[in-house]
């Protein structure tokens, strides 16, 4: 059974750096092809893909946000960390992590999401 859960601050100030952790179970980065992605959704708006990290430490970033994003993993802890720099009120959103497999462009298991508000 695959589960994922996001954790991190609910409120950050403009210009600060956001750090979110995704803790998962039911799969492992020790397995070929495993990936974890990040997707966000501003209140009342559409989904937006942010990043993916793979079992082999390869990663992919949204072209529009690439300069602000970093994603890393800790295989032993079954965790993925997303950092986003220079936060702005427009970055207010629910941030989701999701299971992904190399070679298949979809996210088949999602965390419950965590709402991050950017405000001074």
Partner 1 sequence: QSALTQPASVSGSPGQSITISCTGTSSDVGGFNYVSWYLQNPGKAPKLMIYDVSKRPSGVSSRLSGSKSGNTASLTISGLQPEDEAEYYCSSYRSSSSSFDVVFGGGTKLTVL
Binding footprint of partner 1 on the chain (CB under 8 A): 37, 39, 46-49, 52, 60-63, 66, 96, 104-108, 110-113
**CB closer to partner 1 out of 5 and 16:** 5
**CB closer to partner 1 out of 83 and 109:** 109
Residues 21, 43: Cα–Cα separation, whole Å: 21
**CB closer to partner 1 out of 92 and 110:** 110
Least Å from the CB of residue 27 to partner 1: 15
Least Å from the CB of residue 86 to partner 1: 20
Q: How many CA atoms lie within 13 A of 44 on its CB side?
A: 1
List, in sequence order, every beta strand (DSSP E) within 1-120. Answer: 3-7, 11-12, 18-25, 34-41, 48-54, 59-61, 69-74, 79-84, 93-101, 104-110, 114-118
């Amino acid at each position: 059974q695959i589960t994922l859960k996001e954790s991190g601050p609910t409120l950050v100030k403009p210009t600060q750096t956001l750090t979110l952790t995704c803790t998962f179970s039911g799969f492992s980065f020790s397995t070929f092809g495993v990936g974890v992605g990040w997707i966000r959704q501003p209140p009342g708006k559409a989904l937006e893909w942010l990043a993916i990290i793979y079992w082999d430490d390869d990663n992919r970033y949204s072209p529009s946000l690439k300069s602000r994003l970093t994603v890393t993993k800790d295989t032993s802890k079954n965790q993925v960390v997303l950092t986003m720099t220079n936060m702005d009120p427009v970055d207010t959103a629910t941030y989701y992590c999701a299971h992904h497999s190399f070679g298949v462009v979809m996210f088949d298991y999602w965390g419950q999401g965590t709402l991050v508000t950017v405000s001074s």
